[in-house]
Amino acid sequence: GPAETTGPAEITGPAEITGPAQLPPAPAHFTGREEAVRELRRALRGGARVAVVSGMAGVGKSALAVHVAHALRAEFPDGQLYVNLRGATPGMTPLTPSQALATLLRDLGAEPRRARDGAEDPAAASALLRSLLAPTRTLMVLDDAATAAQVRPLLPAGDGCAVVVTSRSPLTALDGAERFPLEPLSDGDSAALLRAVSGRAGLDAGHPLVELAGRLPLALRIVAARLAARRALTPDALAELLKVSGGRLHHLEYDDLSVRRSLAVALDALRTSERETDRDAARALARIGALDLPTYGVPLLARLLGTDELRAGAALDRLVDVALLDETSYGRYTPHDLVRDFARETAAGAATETGTATDTETGKAMETGAGRGTGPVGMGTGAGLVEEAFRWYAECARRTLLAILPDGLDRTDRLRGVDAALTRPGLPAPDEGPPLTAESAFAWGDTELANVLALTERHSDSAGLLPVLVRCLFPYLQRRGRLTELAALGTLALDAARRQGDTAAEAQALTDAAGVHFMSGRSSEALALNDQALTLWRTLGYVSCVRRGLNNRGLLLEGLGRHAESAESLHRSLDLARELADPLSEAITLSHLGNLYEHTDARAAIAHHERSLAIGDTLGHAVVRQSAHCNIGYAHLTLGEPAAALGHFEESLRLHGEYEDWHGASQARLGLVRALRGLSRTADATHECAALLDRAEHRGDTHMTGLAGHQRGLLLRAEGREEEAYEQWRTALAALDGTDSRVADELRTLLAQ
């Protein structure tokens, strides 16, 4: 049968409780945390009676716990117990539950023999502790806990006691506890703490030291202590020292206070742990430091760790548990700024010492880490990690392209050479999983774009896959209307293609750059870039790309008023489309010919657009149908038929649906505003125009902002609001500065009246 257990009734009685008063001194200059103080006091007075204060190193967990404990001393007349469990104390090993129990029993006056026996029998010691505390009103502070298992045997069972636990982990395995996660201080409270500790007046919430210290109380106290110790050191001078790349953590050490050492405790524990997940977490932090991206997700880290997503996710969650990462939204992780600095140091230090990121110290994890996302040998180096990150992003961007671009020569041309560039000799292609939907493709782009921008900006000189990544990402960026990002990435891709001597990549980058200039209203610059690309496409002999270049050339020349040259280019493009038996390209060129004919014969223009629409209907091609309806609407406006135009603009927008092409949809919305204004539906036009302006400004599309602002001014004037109209037109003209837009000339005329 089961072994007998010793219950509390079999243990001889304790010595008389003398009322311990073990709290450390109340923290000087305790600042802010009003709501946390109020809620923690409520919890310790109420039914929960176990509160866990959690947060990253240096966030002020212990200060809050001790501050509140002092405030509640009178409500716990039988004493206040304090134990430093040393879960994350630099240079010290965490207390075992047995050691903590022996300490508490001794402090409560248990006979020395009973305390020693308890250390040998933790269950009996825990029972004795509960018996001693049961009739009392005692407050217990368990500071710096490592795990729930370390805390659980120390908890009293009686209703009269309360316990506040501090830990970097929220200790979610501790049942019945109320949790208080701490964030860094507000800017105002950070400045107040700096002033209080340093004695320096004039440090306000906007001073750089607030942000440079990460608004962490520990870092703020170190900064303030430095200022207090050296009166000649000005806050501005110290801020400049902290801004030096790689030097911030060096200056966030003073006497026995150190942000770096506080963070290193958690990492060292992970590195030396027997748990595979902990060792994976240590490697993940080094990967994070080597790449230094704004945010991280599980799939990318799985690739960089050379393991599967389940294991990578567990590693990231473990970093959250020990407060080295924050999960800002489901599945997205980011480090605090000071942890980011520490991770960079960790990656650089490991690379310097071993020549690899951290894999030599955790080789066991790599040996068992093969999986769907396994990376190549040598990926542990900083350069290898960057290359693998570029490869992962390029592979994902290719999948978004397949989801966004319909099948056809445009997709085929854009993907030319991509698969070859992404293939590694001797290694199987990664398992892509099921095809992305348009929804998931746009969601991926929205989530990862900031990382792509950071990665490309930082490593553009050494990234061989940069042109491939940008080429594949172009359809997403174009449809989202991210012109600023398109321009920045396009410039980097063009430079990289030229450095690599890759003519096809250069031609594609020039074509895409021309597209960005066109969408930004700079047709002259777009034409020059398109002509450069056209020359390269002809040299390469890519007929479908030559056709596209001629089509784009005709469109640009039409916008510049060079109608005869436009007609020549468009007819040559149309001939090539028919030679290629490419009805999609034929439909697009017919639409551009319709735009050209609108200048002289709007009825003929409508006929061309209707031919384009018929092809789009046959192919089931949404973009062709959207464009045709939009263009027919503009032709009707030219004819002075806003009622006929209105339905076509509405149909174009309906066809765009949820995942609209920003450039096409914004043109349709602008036409809708003009049609409504022509029908004297001023209120509806004003509503649509305001929505269009807001969307354009949100995307940084200054060209459309100017076009919509022009219409907004006309609507204001129609309402008799002349001064507001002129102000709107001045703003619109400024937005169109440097473009070839004919609307800019109209605005100058309006402002001259």
Tell me whether residue 365 is in a domain: yes
Among 162-166, 230-234, 377-381, 564-568, the least confident range: 377-381
Write the CB contacts of 23 (distance below 8 Å, at least 6 apart in sequence): 66, 69, 70, 73, 80, 82, 141
On whether both 108 and 130 belong to a single domain, the answer is yes
On whether both 228 and 293 belong to a single domain, the answer is no
Quickly count: other Cβ atoms within 10 Å of residue 580's Cβ.
Answer: 14
pLDDT of 426 reads: 74
Tell me whether residue 400 is in a domain: no
Tell me whether residue 524 is in a domain: no
On whether both 27 and 176 belong to a single domain, the answer is yes
Question: Is residue 18 very low, low, confident or very high in pLDDT (cuts 50, 70, 90)?
Answer: low
Average pLDDT score over the chain: 90
Tell me whether residue 375 is in a domain: yes
Question: Is residue 47 very low, low, confident or very high in pLDDT (cuts 50, 70, 90)?
Answer: low
Among 224-238, 341-355, 446-460, the least confident range: 341-355
Tell me whether residue 396 is in a domain: no
**509-561 confidence digits (pLDDT tens):** 999 999 999 999 999 999 999 999 999 999 999 999 999 999 999 999 999 99
pLDDT > 90? residue 594:
yes
Write the CB contacts of 390 (distance below 8 Å, at least 6 apart in sequence): 455, 459, 463, 464, 465, 466, 469
pLDDT > 60? residue 370:
no
What is the C-alpha separation between 146 and 149, in angstroms, rounded? Answer: 8
Among 331-335, 361-365, 460-464, the least confident range: 361-365
Q: What domain range is 614 assigned to?
A: 582-679
SS3 247: coil
On whether both 201 and 338 belong to a single domain, the answer is no
Quickly count: other Cβ atoms within 10 Å of residue 373's Cβ.
Answer: 24
On whether both 175 and 203 belong to a single domain, the answer is no
On whether both 152 and 170 belong to a single domain, the answer is yes
Tell me whether residue 438 is in a domain: no
On whether both 298 and 323 belong to a single domain, the answer is yes
What is the C-alpha separation between 696 and 698, in angstroms, rounded? Answer: 5
SS3 195: helix
What is the C-alpha separation between 23 and 139, in angstroms, rounded? Answer: 10
pTM across the whole model: 0.86
pLDDT > 60? residue 144:
yes
On whether both 199 and 167 belong to a single domain, the answer is no
- CB of 217 within 8 A of CB of 193? yes
What is the C-alpha separation between 140 and 163, in angstroms, rounded? Answer: 5
Structural domain ending residue among the three candidates 144, 166, 181: 181
pLDDT > 70? residue 457:
yes
pLDDT of 655 reads: 92
pLDDT > 50? residue 377:
no
Among 268-272, 311-315, 339-343, 347-351, the least confident range: 347-351
pLDDT > 90? residue 393:
yes
pLDDT > 70? residue 502:
yes
Question: Is residue 386 very low, low, confident or very high in pLDDT (cuts 50, 70, 90)?
Answer: very high
CATH of the domain at 145: 3.40.50.300
Tell me whether residue 517 is in a domain: no
Question: Is residue 371 very low, low, confident or very high in pLDDT (cuts 50, 70, 90)?
Answer: very low
Among 421-425, 520-524, 635-639, 714-718, the least confident range: 421-425
On whether both 56 and 121 belong to a single domain, the answer is yes
For the chain, the domain total comes to 5
Mean pLDDT on 208-229? 95
Question: Is residue 111 very low, low, confident or very high in pLDDT (cuts 50, 70, 90)?
Answer: confident
pLDDT of 660 reads: 73
Write the CB contacts of 430 (distance below 8 Å, at least 6 apart in sequence): 372, 373, 395
Question: Is residue 365 very low, low, confident or very high in pLDDT (cuts 50, 70, 90)?
Answer: very low
pLDDT > 50? residue 361:
no
pLDDT > 90? residue 4:
no
Among 112-121, 170-179, 208-217, 305-314, the least confident range: 112-121
Tell me whether residue 311 is in a domain: yes
Distance in angstroms between the alpha carbons of the first and the last residue of the chain: 103
HEC states along 691-740?
HHHHHHHHHCCHHHHHHHHHHHHHHHHHCCCHHHHHHHHHHHHHHCCCCC
267 alpha carbon, distance to own chain's centre: 24
Q: In a 10 Å sphere around its CB, with 0-12 CB exposed, 13-18 middle and 19+ buried, how is residue 431 labelled?
A: exposed
pLDDT of 358 reads: 41
Using only C-alpha atoms, what is the Rg of the chain?
A: 34
**75-91 confidence digits (pLDDT tens):** 999 999 999 999 988 77
Question: Is residue 589 very low, low, confident or very high in pLDDT (cuts 50, 70, 90)?
Answer: very high
**246-265 confidence digits (pLDDT tens):** 789 999 999 989 999 999 99
CATH of the domain at 637: 1.25.40.10
On whether both 122 and 75 belong to a single domain, the answer is yes
CATH of the domain at 295: 1.10.10
Mean pLDDT on 354-369? 39
On whether both 78 and 45 belong to a single domain, the answer is yes
Own/partner pairs, 34-39, CB within 8 angstroms, 24+ separation = 36/64, 36/180, 36/182, 37/64, 37/67, 37/68, 37/71, 39/180
pLDDT of 199 reads: 92
pLDDT of 2 reads: 37
Structural domain ending residue among the three candidates 358, 380, 402: 380
On whether both 693 and 674 belong to a single domain, the answer is no
Question: Is residue 164 very low, low, confident or very high in pLDDT (cuts 50, 70, 90)?
Answer: very high
Structural domain ending residue among the three candidates 255, 274, 299: 255
